[in-house]
Amino acid sequence: MADLTTDFLGIKSPNPFWLASAPPTDKEYNVRRAFEAGWGGVVWKTLGAEGPPVVNVNGPRYGVIHGADRRVLGLNNIELITDRDLETNLEEITRVKKDWPDRALIVSIMVPCEEAAWKDILPRVEATGADGIELNFGCPHGMSERGMGSAVGQVPEYIEMVTRWCKQYYSKPVIVKLTPNITDIRKPAEAARKGGADAVSLINTINSIVSVDLDTMSPHPSIDGKGTHGGYCGPAVKPIALSMVSEIARAPATHGMPISGIGGVTTWRDAAEFITMGCGNVQVCTAAMTYGFKVVQEMIAGLSRWMDEKGHESIADFMGAAVPNTTDWQYLNLNYIAKAKIDQDACISCGRCYAACEDTSHQAIAMSEDRTFSVIDEECVACNLCVEVCPVENCISMVPMEAGTTDPRTGKVVQDDYANWTTHPNNPGAVAAE
């Protein structure tokens, strides 16, 4: 069987599935249940500085975007960092790490952007025996208005400064958690590396308002008739997270930097995709909050089975495998040509492909009187819309044209293996032909 164990920054865990810093990791009881269920690691819910306690709302904290059958597609929350006192958290972390030495236990921290505050808390966290810390520079609500969270994560200079403090006053791995609420994710990642960070984790939640109650005219969740923006997570943010992870993995300034992937991981396949983009592990929150801690068992079984089928003996075998194939649009092969093909045996004659193509695309699908649908190759640009709107999986596919044949739409001959793209004048990265 495939070996799912991971070694992330020297921190070993039996599998790459960690629980992210969030409500599921707020206390000892939850974390013990998580480890019993099979999670490879947890990031303890964010600790704050000692002093006046954080006060969370005593009302709705979550808003949800539902899909078919009320499937949770996206979850918005307005909850703040832990509202339990620092000493209680530290005592619980110490006990859990002692009892579960084979599991990764990372402590998330958010304190004021002052050196003294970090100098004070870091030795106390290190004394717990936890494996490392994660700097919460991503929380987009509540704490950001107090000059913490994403207020720090949006300023690369602050990230570098605080990371340097942490590397000075803490001897174990330092992970910087990045906010997606920024124009270019590469800048904060580069700042984290300059500050000495051992890794980055991303993405934190996206600033959002998920809905408005049209009776009360207040955003949801509503607290006594008022609402506010919160942090958005869940399956809906996965495409954004994958893209940002790929940017960091590809950028010369951060190439090779360890990454912990976060954002919509719900299945083993999601996890595998993040790993192929360069992540050494993944962090999960919404899936656990939706289905409970035992969802990890399906993730472990699925990833293990897929690795066996593909012949991957370890996570390292496919980590980063998709990064070389991720490029800028201008370097895509414009000589590659494909056409849509409809499997008539699988077609249920719903007409969705025809409607989508006829009204909003390239009028490349014909409908006969008996509702048989066929592709008009002379018009098809292989945009893939028909594939995506078809309710029958694999009914419509994109088939590359064979080399030497003529594209009926353009009259151009399909190039042999598309090899000449490296010297094609339309390719901005073309090299001169010898």
Asked if 139 is an active-site residue, the reply is yes
Hey, what domains does the chain have and what are their CATH numbers?
6-325 (3.20.20.70), 330-423 (3.30.70.20)
Q: What are 403-417's pLDDT values in tens digits?
A: 888 999 988 888 755
pLDDT score recorded for residue 190? 96
Query: Which token pair is 173?
Result: 């791995």
Residues 295 and 267 sit within 8 Å (Cβ to Cβ): no
Catalytic residue among 139, 233, 353, 395: 139
Mean pLDDT of the chain: 90
Q: What is the pLDDT of residues 245-297, one digit of tens each?
A: 999 999 999 999 999 999 999 999 999 999 999 999 999 999 999 999 999 99
Asked if the model's pLDDT at residue 177 lies above 90, the reply is yes
Q: Is 44 helix (H, G, I), strand (E, B) or coil?
A: strand
Computed on alpha carbons and rounded to an integer, the radius of gyration of the chain in Å comes to 25
Entry field: residues in the chain: 434
Look at 119 and 64; give whichever has higher pLDDT: 119
Q: For residue 300, give the H/E element and its range.
A: helix 295-310
DSSP state of 422: G
Of residues 22 and 142, more confidence is placed in 22
Give the integer Cα–Cα distance in Å for 2 and 318: 12
Q: pTM (2 decimals)?
A: 0.91
Per-residue model confidence (pLDDT) at position 124: 97
Q: Which residues contact 3 (CB under 8 A, 6 or more apart)?
A: 313, 314, 315
Q: Give the torsion through C-alpha atoms of 268, 257, 13, 121, to 10 deg.
A: -120
